[in-house]
A and B are shown apart, each in its own frame.
Chain A
Amino acid sequence: MADVATRPLSRTDHTWFAGQVETLLPALYGTAVRLCRDRTDGEDLVAETIAKAWEAFPALRNRDTFRGWMFRILTNTFLSQYRADRARGEVESFDASDDGFSLFERVHQPILLWWGNPEQDFLNGLLRDDLIRAIDELPDRLRTVVVLVDVQALSYREVSTALKIPVGTVRSRLARGRGLLQKALWENARDAGLRAGPQRSGGEDQPDDQR
C-alpha cells in the first residue's frame, strides 16, 4: 500500500488522477444524474466531486480504492445538498408495506405459463425510461442505496462506509427501495397497458386479483 498521505502532489500524481477521472467520468455522471434526477445538477455534482477529490487526494492511502472513494465523495456531496433541501422542507415518508412487493409474483401467473413466459415478456417490454422513472420516484435515502448497489455495484460494506450507516440499514433500505421500485414498475406498466391489468378492456390475459 503506497503511503501518499503526507506527500505533496506531483505532476505524475496529477496525470494519474486525470486519467482515473476520465475513465470514471461516465459512471460518475450516470450516478450523479440518477441521484439528482436532473442532468444539469448532475454535472454540477460531478464537478464538485472532482474538486473535492483532488483536495483530499493526498490523504488517499490506497489508490486501489480510488473508485469507491470517488463514489463516496460523490454520494456525500449529494447527501449534504439533500440535507440542505430537507432543511428547506422536503419531506419523505416510507410505507413499510412496500418492503415485500414482488414484481415477479405479480407477473408470474401460473395460469399463463401454458401459453408463454410472462415474466420474460415483461422484462423484454421494459424500457430504459420506465426504469429511470421508477428510480427517480424513490425517496432520496432509498434511491441513494439502490443506485450505489444496483447501478454502481458497490458492496453493502462500501455503501455502509459511504453513507455512515450500519450494513443492516443498507440491507433494509435496499429491500425497501427495491420493493418500491418494483411496485412503481408494475403500476407504470399496468397503466401503460403493457401487461393488461384488470381495469383494461383487453385484460383477458390477466386475472382480476391484481389490485
Chain B
Amino acid sequence: MTSAEINTCEDALRLLAAHLDRELNDHTHAEVQRHLDACRSCYSRAEFERRLKASIAALGHEPVPPELSGRVESLIRQFTVTADE
C-alpha cells in the first residue's frame, strides 16, 4: 500500500483495519498512529477493534485432544525416510 496523508478521521478510519493488521508501510502506519494519539474518538474506535481482534486471535489455539495427538504421532512414525545420514 502506498503512503497516505491522514488529514481527517475518515482518512484514519479508512486505513484502521490495515493499520491494526500491520499491513501499512512505516510512514503511513506512523501517520495513522499520530492521528489516533491525537483524536479521542478514533483512538476509542481503534482500541475497540484492537481488543476485538485480540479476542478473536485467542481462538487460534485449541487444546489438542489425546486421540489427535496419538493419531499424529502414529502417522509421523509411518512416514518413510529415504536417505541415510
Contacts and interface: CB of A to CB of B under 8 A. Distances in A.
Contacts of B67: 43
Contact of A47 (B21, B65, B71): B71
Contacts of B58: 128
A14 B55 contact: no
A43 B75 contact: no
B17 A156 contact: no
B85 A12 contact: yes
Given A10-B81, A123-B52, A25 B64 contact: yes
Contacts of B85: 10-12
B57 A153 contact: yes
Secondary structure class of chain A's binding surface, majority of residues: helix
B59 A50 contact: no
Nearest to B21: A149
Interface string A147-180: 0011111011000000000000001001100100
A153 B17 CA distance: 13
B84 A10 contact: yes
Interface stretch (A31-39, A72-80, A90-98, A189-197): A31-39
B59 A128 contact: yes
A104 B50 CA distance: 11
A27 B51 CA distance: 20
A51 interface: yes
Interface residues of B, number: 37
Given A10-B81, A104-B45, A108-B48, A178 B17 contact: yes
Contacts of B62: 26, 29-30, 33, 42
Interface centre among B17, B44, B61, B62 (most CB of A within 10 A): B62
The 8 A-B residue pairs with the shortest CB-CB distance, nearest first, are: A8-B82, A8-B83, A30-B62, A151-B60, A26-B61, A10-B83, A150-B56, A104-B48
A30 B60 contact: yes
A50 B75 contact: yes
A150 B53 contact: yes
A14 B81 contact: yes
Contacts of B61: 26-27, 30
B65 A43 contact: yes
B56 A43 contact: no
Contacts of A184: none
B11 interface: no
B68 A30 contact: no
A150 B57 contact: yes
A54 interface: yes
30 contacts: A9-B79, A9-B81, A10-B81, A10-B83, A10-B84, A13-B83, A14-B81, A21-B72, A21-B76, A25-B64, A30-B60, A34-B59, A39-B65, A43-B71, A46-B68, A50-B72, A103-B48, A104-B49, A119-B44, A120-B51, A123-B48, A123-B55, A126-B52, A126-B55, A146-B56, A149-B21, A151-B59, A153-B57, A155-B23, A156-B23
